[in-house]
Amino acid sequence: MTNFLQNMAGMGGMTDQVIATDFLNSAKSGIRNTAFAITETASPELRAALREQLRSAVETHGLISDYMVSKGYYHPLDISEQSKVNLKAANTALNLSQQ
């Protein structure tokens, strides 16, 4: 997205990496919440539906992770490189808050 369109949409410095990271974090949160809901559910029908939702959420998480790895946004097997990416993302977030 061009800077002009980003500014028009009120997105400022939103990047594909920021969006993908937020999507990945949301998927992780959904997985945790769904797993918790399964343990709290007494209805076999609801439990089955939640298991299917959990399966789908885990699959989506995998797709997002694969995308992020392919773009160089996520390095789950290289802690040193991931630390650099995390530091850069933190600095970007700080810069966005100052705009």
Condensed to tens digits (0 to 9), the pLDDT of residues 7-55 reads 544 555 568 888 999 999 999 999 999 999 999 999 999 999 999 999 9
Give the separation between CA 70 and CA 73, rounded to whole angstroms.
Answer: 8
Q: What is the pLDDT of residue 93?
A: 75
Q: What is the pLDDT of residue 8?
A: 44
Prediction pTM value: 0.74
Structural contact between residues 35 and 54, judged by C-beta atoms closer than 8 angstroms: yes
Token pair 């390095």: residue: 75
Q: Is 43 left (phi over 0), alpha (psi -120 to 50) or beta?
A: beta
Q: What is the pLDDT of residue 91?
A: 84
Condensed to tens digits (0 to 9), the pLDDT of residues 58-92 reads 999 999 999 999 999 999 999 999 999 888 878 87
